[in-house]
Each structure stands twice: as C-alpha cells, then as structure tokens.
Amino acid sequence: MVEVILLAAGQSKRFGKNKLLHKLENGKEIVCQCITNINQAGFNPKVIVQENDTRLINVLRSEKCIVSECKDSQLGMAHTLAFAIRHYSNASAWLICLADMPYILPDTIKKLHDSLQNTESLCAPIYQDSRGHPVGFGRKYYEELANLEGDNGAKSLLHKYQNNLINLEVSDPGVLRDIDYPKDLII
C-alpha cells in the first residue's frame, strides 16, 4: 500500500506565524486546501505535525485526518520525513506531500501515486523543466529515508538515484508553488 504523507511540522519562521492556518482567498486554511486536494485525488493523508501544536492538530482532526506528532521536528524537514517513514514503515511506497503547497491539483497527486507501483519506484513531477512536489519513494529507499537528518528533506536521495527517477511531465504549476512568505500568496 502506498501511504500519502503530508508533512506539516515546519516552523513557519519566514511567514511570521503558523502559515498552515492562514486562510486562502477561498476561506480555507492552507493545510486544509492541501488535504482537500489529496482527498479529491482519492486518498486520506497521514499528517505529521510538531509535537503539542494543539491548534493545528485540532484543525486536522476536524478534517478527519490521521495525525502523528514528531517530537523532534525542530531538527529539520529530513528528520520529520524520517519520522514519517519509520512511523508508516509497512508501506510499499510513500508519496510525500508538503502542507505549504495548496495549489497542487488532485489529478497530479493521483498521477504520482499511481506511478508508485513497485518497490523500486522513485518519481517527481516536472513542470516546464523544473522538478516539484510531491515526490514518491518506493520501499527500496526505506533505510535511507528512515535515517535522514537535517533540513534538506530527501534532495540527496533524488540526486543519488537520479538515474532511477521517473520525471512525470505535468501541466500543473502548483507543483512548484510553495508558500514561505506572505508575498507567495500573491499571484
């Protein structure tokens, strides 16, 4: 089974407040829009959050999400990703979504999920020659994912296994559009 993981344990330092709870123009919080997109693709994400982030956890539970708290998320995205992989270690593959990317289309999520059909799969979306998110990893990469550290996520694995990487061309600019600063909300 492919687990769809939504990483929502960032610090939001550049945004100035918890960006995931910031409301978009449609009235939905950023994280809730990500969940909606994943749900519309046909999946129920497993959400990884900072330990004791009560406000975010309550919002996620109201969305009927399965929430897991990463007590050491302040150590960086790679650490949080490793926690998620270990927490859902029985999966055949993982599709890693980021909770500050609310503009990814459900069809893109489904296409990436469907490309994770074997344990050696490694996939990422490409929009206009730029690689984006979410990124999928087959079971083959479990040990390396489970032992990641720092704040670079899995970039090192994508580089190391670039010859195995399936670059899926998409017509979805949302795969490149993350929200780090309030100005990123302006189109």
Give Cβ neighbours of residue 33 (< 8 Å, ≥ 6 apart). 24, 26, 102
Decide if 180 contacts 168 (C-beta within 8 A). Answer: no
82 located within any domain: yes
Give residue 13's pLDDT band: very low, low, confident or very high (50, 70, 90): low
Give residue 39's pLDDT band: very low, low, confident or very high (50, 70, 90): very high
138 located within any domain: yes
CATH number at 76 reads: 3.90.550.10
Helical packing angle, 30-40 and 54-62, nearest 10°: 30
185 located within any domain: no
Mean pLDDT of 124-150: 95
User: Which tens digits make up the pLDDT trace of 147-168?
Assistant: 998 767 788 899 999 999 999 9
pTM: 0.93
Query: Scanning the structure block, which residue is given the tokens 């195995």?
Result: 164
Peptide bond into 134 cis (omega under 30): yes
Higher-confidence position of 16 and 183: 183
120 located within any domain: yes
Question: What is the C-alpha to C-alpha distance for residues 164 and 29, in angstroms, rounded to an integer?
Answer: 36
187 located within any domain: no
Range of the domain at 100: 2-176
23 located within any domain: yes
Domain count within the chain: 1
Question: What is the C-alpha to C-alpha distance for residues 39 and 43, in angstroms, rounded to an integer?
Answer: 5
Mean pLDDT of 48-63: 90
Q: Is residue 139 predicted with pLDDT exceeding 80?
A: yes
183 located within any domain: no
Q: Is residue 101 predicted with pLDDT exceeding 90?
A: yes
Question: What is the C-alpha to C-alpha distance for residues 148 and 80, in angstroms, rounded to an integer?
Answer: 9
**In 3D, which of 166, 173, 158, 159 has the Cα closest to residue 127?**
173
186 located within any domain: no
